[in-house]
Amino acid sequence: MRLEARGAISPAMAIAAPFAAIAFTLAVAALFVAWAGAPVGRTYALIFEGGFGSRFAWSETLTRATPLILTGLAAAIAFRARLYNIGAEGQLYAGALAAVAVGGLHGGIGADLPPAWLFAALLGSAALAGALLMALPAIAKTRFGVDEVVTTLLLNFVVLLFVSMMLDGPMKDPAAMGWPQSVTLDDELLLGKLVDRTRVHSGLLIAMGLAVIAWAALRMTTFGFEVRAVGANPRAARFAGVPVTRTILLVGLASGAAAGLAGAIEVAGRTGYVTLDMSPGYGYTGIVIAMLAGLNPLGVIAAAVFVAGVLVGADSMSRAVAVPTYIADVIVAVALIAMLVATLSARYRLRLR
Amino acid sequence: MTDRLLALTGITKRFGSLVANDAISLELSRGEVLALLGENGAGKSTLVSILFGHYVADAGTIEILGRALPPGDPAAALAAGIGMVHQHSTLADNLSVLDNVMLGTEPLWWPRSRRREARGRLLGTARRFGLAVDPDARVASLSVGERQRVEILKALYRDARVLILDEPTAVLTPQESEALFATLRGMVAEGLSVIFISHKLGEVLRVSDRIAVLRAGRLVATLPARGTSTSALAEAMVGRAIAPPVARPHARGDVVCVIDRVSTRGVRASARLDAVSLALHAGEITAIAGVAGNGQAALVELLCGLRAADAGTVTLAGRPMAADPRAWIAAGAARIPEDRRETGTIGDLPVWENAIAERYRRPFASGGIVRRSAARSFAAKLVDRYDVRGGGIDTPVRALSGGNMQKLIIGRALSGGAARPDQYAPTLVVASQPTWGLDAGAVAWVHQRMLDACARGAAVLLVSEDLDEIFALADRIAVLHAGRLTPARPAKAWTLAGLGLAMAGAGTRDAA
């Protein structure tokens, strides 16, 4: 039994693969729903309705999709260069903390700046915080060959403990009745709502704009070529004159910056302050989204909306039937595995001898 | 027929749409050397893999001594007396010769090893066939030729009646090849049969009794070696007459590239150079001969801008060069790497992006944006002029055949990103094993491109293990052994025997 590479992948197969993966995922999740004793059809209908069935459902899904697009982008562009950034979760918190430090601390930096400038500084510092956090693993990888999967993953815990320290110490909100919660952003720095009486905010437009920019950059720029070349074959890329180390460092910085922005936009658009549970694993879910999207930045938008819909839909479903919301995690996790298998089988054919 | 040992009948094997073996029937007699001759991809390896049980044929049967051999069972093939010596060593480096020979011959659950008996038997076999070995030597310390001898002994130790040798001379010096042929003749005299796989015509005629010629999966001819000429074999192998490349008159020009007492360190022998000096002249082809793994990789990486010299200097057109591929490309080096799949091309990217990969910044981008239409039209012209077949400019390079990949790499290197051939001429061409694995037509094509580049004033460095290729192209030849380089002497001053001695280390040792 072995895998044989297919010559060229037909476009039809490249498009069919993710749909086949999602169909397989729903079939597997159906087993668990049935096991929980709930009607399968009704459960799925409720998930769909809760995620996409109404104006309110759409607004909640898009609100949830906003940070997911950014963490999905963070994973997609880094993975394109085969830099496996698993640290988007930590980079997101670093970005959120930096945003509050610039825009919320009393007498904070740049308090005299006009709000537009201050907002730019807020986004910039969040991006910088995420990028710097990713610079460390990227340098360790290129200089010493340290596996970035290990370093980025472990840095997540380091950052979470650091955030915990800050929330109980220097950045603690004195008005929070003892809750570990940061000070809030100044009101003029909060993002506007896109639709009245919903939580959808203009951060969605920023995230989607960045996805389009990332797509165009990968496709049209010399840097995009370098990223794709390094990811596809670093040896041949180096031979052809691509600065491999520099490319990995730069793509690492871009990836960290995207995850850092996710944190800042979540703070400015939704919560207004940082708590230790502001991200229910957006960084990790971003990896799944990137894989579902086939590492295509435009696909990340679609995949983020799909995953957000499942997460939001599962919340409202579990209130109606006795299936725990964890079914959403099952769906997302199985979707990742199914997508990996689908991608593999689009590229390779299984041969029994 | 009483002396018929092995019979293959109607062997057919398909890989997808490719018919690797098409109804091949062959017989092998006791005490016979049968050569399987064919170009790369003709189906030789597939056929012996079926014989040895690595693959299962789609149709056809194998009989050994009148009994059917079960398909797809290497253990049964071994038990039936089929021994295989692979092209690349399959020995365990960190074990002794005796351990390697015994490996797999003893039941794993039996606590006691019969080393003493095995040792006696190994020495007996070695004596009988004249294959001197030290049973206690660690395999890692042996030369390539010695390892091959161990592989042969390993097969003989298991009472092989048929020995299959897959391109055995590819890693040997001419003298080592000669010793191997003598061993084979001794084995045949003892009643063994040999299947000898090769694409080298001369050695096939010298060593074999009968020659089976494969072309595109079919058995096209079975000829007795006696009374057959190399030209008849070549025509049977290729299916048509090949026009030999034409050398245009070229005059030796100024020195273009100087390697001055360069040393490199490395863990593996192929990465080590020891005070190598060489001057490359415009309009001259300098060939580096040598057995694989003697420092060729380091030398080529040095001249491709991939490796820095630990001592000594390299200059190109008068300027000292660092380990930076981009600087070498900008200085006019046309580089043709040995591994076209792993180094030369980026398989997942389309042909057009590979065609501009060395020049994606200049001239095919401005302001950081790739000039897509200019790049694509250049790629289309390149594909057309260098006859790259097997897809358009949007096909991933992975889908091309090795020969077409090589055409793309050579076209990219020699055209320098210029749309018209008269707009660019490389100053230096570095070609490492440029024709390895190509069919005869493509080989002639590659040779012609190198001769043309030379005639247009490039200094050409050819690193090759194929001595026929070296003698056909080179103006001067130097030999690399254990990281040391002999002085480059005119090709006419070398004899085959002298070259063989130098490849075994004679010349470089004297120089040291």
A228 → closest Cβ in B15, B349, B391? B349
Tens of pLDDT, residue by residue over B67-98, are 888 888 888 888 888 988 887 778 888 899 99
pLDDT value for A347: 72
Q: How far apart are CA A59 and CA A196, in angstroms?
A: 10
Chain B residues whose CB is inside 8 A of the A241 CB are: 324-326, 329, 357-358
Contacts of B376 in chain A (CB under 8 A): none
Alpha-carbon distances, residue A143 vs A223, A243, A251, B268 (angstroms): 21, 14, 16, 22
Of all residues in chain A, the one with the smallest CA distance to B345 is A236
- Is the pLDDT at B434 greater than 50, yes or no? yes
Q: How many interchain CB pairs under 8 A, A with B?
A: 77
Cβ contacts of A220 on chain B, cutoff 8 Å: 369-370, 372
**Is A255 in contact with A68 (CB distance < 8 Å)?**
no
Residue A130 and residue A252: Cα distance in Å, rounded?
10
Whether residue B281 lies inside any domain: the answer is yes
pLDDT in tens, B351-362: 999 999 999 998
Mean per-residue pLDDT, B86-115? 82
B87 assigned to some structural domain? yes
The answer, yes or no, to whether residue B2 has pLDDT greater than 80, is no
Neighbours of B392 (CB within 10 A): 12
pLDDT value of residue A5 = 64
Q: How far is B355 from chain A (nearest CA, A)?
A: 10
Average pLDDT over residues B104-129: 82
pLDDT at position B206: 87
For residue B130, pLDDT beyond 90:
no
In chain B, what residues touch A233 (CB-CB under 8 Å)? 342, 345-348
Q: Give residue limits of the domains in chain A.
A: 81-292
Selection from A287, A270, A250, A249 nearest residue A99 by Cα? A270
Q: Are residues B13 and B80 in the same domain?
A: yes
Shortest Cα–Cα distance, A5 to chain B (Å): 9
Nearest-Å Rg of the Cα atoms of chain B is 25
Tell me which residue has tokens 């024709």.
B435
Q: Which residue of A226, A233, A241 is in closest CB contact with B325?
A: A241
Is A5 close to B335, i.e. CB distance below 8 A? no
CA distances from B246 to A119, B285, B298, B430 (A): 71, 14, 31, 20
Pick the more confident residue, B427 or B403.
B427
The number of residues in chain A equals 353
Question: Which residue of chain B comes nearest to A238, CA vs CA?
Answer: B325
**Is B365 close to A222, i.e. CB distance below 8 A?**
yes
Nearest to B346 among A223, A237, A241 (CB): A237
If interface means Cβ-Cβ distance under 8 Å, which residues of chain B face chain A? 15, 55-56, 72, 304, 306, 324-326, 329, 335, 337, 342-349, 353, 357-358, 360-361, 365, 368-370, 372, 391, 395-396, 398-399
Q: Are residues B352 and B455 in the same domain?
A: no
* Cβ contact, residue pair A241, B347, below 8 Å: no
Distance CA A61, CA B425 (A): 60
- Smallest CA–CA distance, residue A238 to chain B, in Å, is 7
pLDDT of residue B510: 45
A-chain CB neighbours of B373 within 8 Å are: none
Helices (H), A195-278: 203-220, 222-232, 234-239, 244-266
How many CB atoms neighbour CB A7 within 10 A? 14
- Tell me the mean pLDDT in the region A283-311: 93
What is the percent of chain A where pLDDT is above 70? Answer: 93
Q: Under DSSP, is residue B101 helix (H, G, I), strand (E, B) or coil?
A: helix
Q: Are residues B69 and B185 in the same domain?
A: yes
CA distance B9 to A341: 40
State the smallest CA–CA distance between residue B86 and chain A in angstroms: 21
Which tens digits make up the pLDDT trace of A88-113? 999 999 999 999 988 876 555 556 77
Mean pLDDT of B310-317: 94
Q: B331 to chain A, minimum CA–CA distance in Å?
A: 13
The token pair that represents B287 in the structure block: 């060939």
- Inter-chain touch A240–B398, beta carbons under 8 Å: no
CB atoms B349 and A235 under 8 Å? no
Higher-scoring residue by pLDDT: B173, B81: B81
- A-chain residues within 8 Å CB-CB of B358? 240-241
The chain A residue lying nearest B304, using CA atoms, is A239
Residue B233 shares a structural domain with residue B253: no
Residue range of the domain that includes B170: 4-238
CA closest to B398 among chain A residues: A7
User: d(Cα A123, Cα A193) in Å, to the nearest integer?
Assistant: 18
Exposure string (b/e) for B149-165, b if CB count within 10 Å is 16 or more? bbbbbbbbbbebbbbbb
Q: How far is B98 from chain A (nearest CA, A)?
A: 33
Taking CA atoms, what residue in A is nearest to B330? A241
Nearest CA-CA partner of A51 in A314, A350, A325: A314
Shortest distance, CA B406 to any CA of chain A (angstroms):
14
**Exposure on the CB side of residue B419, measured as CA atoms within 13 A:** 8
Closest CA to A200 of A59, A51, A65: A59
Local confidence band at A254 (pLDDT 50, 70, 90 cut-offs)? very high
B399 and A7 in contact by Cβ < 8 A?
A: yes
Task: Return the pLDDT at B511.
Answer: 43
Q: Which among A8, A226, A236 has CB closest to B343?
A: A236
Residues of B in contact with A7 (CB under 8 A): 398-399
- Closest CA in chain B for residue A7: B399
Same domain for B183 and B94: yes
Question: Does B174 lie in the same domain as B70?
Answer: yes
Q: Which residues of B touch A228 (CB under 8 A)?
A: 349
Q: What is the mean pLDDT of chain B?
A: 87
- Of the candidates A313, A314, A277, A339, the one whose C-alpha atom is nearest the C-alpha of residue A72 is A339
pLDDT at B420: 74
Cα–Cα distance measured from residue A319 to residue A226, given in angstroms and rounded to the nearest whole number: 49
Distance from CA of A226 to the nearest CA of B (A): 9
Distance CA A167, CA A160 (A): 10
Give B-chain residues touching A232 at CB under 8 angstroms. Answer: 346-349
Is B14 part of a structural domain of the chain? yes
Confidence of residue A353 (pLDDT cuts 50, 70, 90): very low
Q: How far is B17 from chain A (nearest CA, A)?
A: 12
Nearest C-alpha neighbor of A138 from the set A268, A221, A232, A227: A227
For B160, the token pair is 């092989």
pLDDT of residue A300: 96
Strand pairing category for B210-215 and B33-37: parallel
C-beta separation of B461 from B488 below 8 A: no
The whole-number pLDDT of residue B423 equals 78
- Same domain for B119 and B212, yes or no, is yes
Across B13-29, average pLDDT = 86
- Looking at per-residue confidence, does A9 or B474 come out higher? B474
Residue whose C-alpha is closest to residue A203's, from A128, A289, A261, A285: A261
What residue spans of B456-511 are helical by DSSP H?
467-473, 496-503, 506-511
Domain count, chain B: 3
Which CATH number goes with the domain that contains B317?
Answer: 3.40.50.300
In terms of Cβ atoms closer than 10 Å to its own Cβ (0-12, 13-18, 19+), residue B251 is exposed
B313 forms beta bridges with B260
Domain limit, last residue, from B366, B392, B422: B422
What 8-state DSSP symbol labels residue A172?
B
Span of A258-267, B273-282, B431-440, B487-496 with lowest mean pLDDT: B431-440
Residues B344, B436: Cα–Cα separation, whole Å: 14
Q: How far apart are CA B398 and CA A7, in angstroms?
A: 7
Name every chain A residue with its beta carbon within 8 A of the beta carbon of B372: 220
Whether the ω angle into residue B363 lies within 30 degrees of 0, i.e. cis, is: yes
pLDDT for res B309 = 93
Are B307 and B370 within one domain?
no
Q: Which of B100-109, B260-269, B399-408 has the lowest mean pLDDT?
A: B100-109
Q: B395 to chain A nearest CA, in Å?
A: 7
ipTM greater than cut 0.90: no
Query: Is B310 among the domain residues?
Result: yes
Contacts of B396 (CB under 8 A, 6+ apart): A8, B347, B348, B349, B350, B351
Q: pLDDT band for position A252 (50/70/90)?
A: very high
Contact B72 A225 (CB under 8 A): no
> What is the distance between the alpha carbons of residues B353 and A27, in angstroms, rounded to a whole number?
40
Partner residue opposite A233 with nearest CB, options B335, B347, B391: B347
pLDDT digits (tens, 9 = 90+) for B196-238: 988 778 888 888 999 999 988 899 989 898 888 887 888 888 7
Q: Which residues pair with B7 in a beta bridge?
A: B27, B63
Pair (B90, B25) in one structural domain:
yes
Interface test with A, best of B58, B346, B404 (most A CBs within 10 A): B346
Does the distance separating the beta carbons of B372 and A220 come in below 8 Å? Answer: yes
Average pLDDT over residues A38-67: 93
Q: pLDDT tier at B512 (50, 70, 90 boundaries)? A: very low
What span, in angstroms and rounded, lies between the C-alpha atoms of B133 and B131? 6
Kindly list the residues from chain A whose CB atom is less than 8 angstroms away from the CB atom of residue B369: 220-222
Top pLDDT among A272 and A348 is at A272
Cβ–Cβ < 8 Å for B219, B242: no
Chain A's closest residue to B391, CA to CA, is: A8
Give the chain A residue nearest B55 (alpha carbons).
Answer: A353
CB contact under 8 A, B396 and A240: no
- Residues on chain A bordering chain B, Cβ-to-Cβ distance under 8 angstroms: 4-5, 7-8, 220-226, 228-229, 232-233, 235-243, 353
Pairwise CA distance, residues B429 & B422, whole Å = 17
Domain boundary among B422, B442, B460: B422
DSSP β-bridge partners for residue B223: B211
A119 DSSP assignment? H
Measured in degrees and rounded to the nearest 5, phi and psi for residue B408 equal -65, -45
Q: Which two tokens stand for residue A281?
A: 């694993």
Helix, strand, coil fractions of chain A, as percent rounded to 5: 70, 5, 25
Q: How confident is the model at residue B53 (pLDDT cuts 50, 70, 90)?
A: confident
With CA atoms as reference, the chain A residue closest to B325 would be A241
CB-based contact A55:A196 (threshold 8 Å): no
User: 3-state SS of B358-424?
Assistant: HHCCCCCEECCEECHHHHHHHHHHHHHHCCCCCCCCCCEHHHCCHHHHHHHHHHHHHHCCCCCHHHC
B449 and B352 both lie in a single domain: no
* Helix axes B230-238 and B440-455, enclosed angle (nearest 10): 100
Q: What is the pTM of this model?
A: 0.81
Cβ distance of B342 and A225 shorter than 8 Å: no
Which positions ≥6 away from B511 have C-beta within 8 Å? Answer: B484, B486, B487
Burial of A278 (0-12, 13-18, 19+ CB in 10 A): buried
B428-432 and B459-463 beta bridge pairing: parallel
Same domain, B145 and B229: yes
Q: How far is CA A274 from the centre of its chain?
A: 18
Most confident of A70-84, A97-111, B431-445: A70-84
Helix (H) or strand (E) holding B223: strand B218-224
- The tens digit of pLDDT for each residue in A151-187 reads 999 999 999 999 999 998 888 887 777 788 888 888 8
CB B368 to CB A223 under 8 A? yes
Min Cα–Cα distance to chain A from B375, Å: 12
Could A229 and B398 be called an inter-chain contact, meaning their C-beta atoms sit closer than 8 Å?
no
The answer on B349 and B307 residing in a single domain is: no
Residue with tokens 């592989």: B151
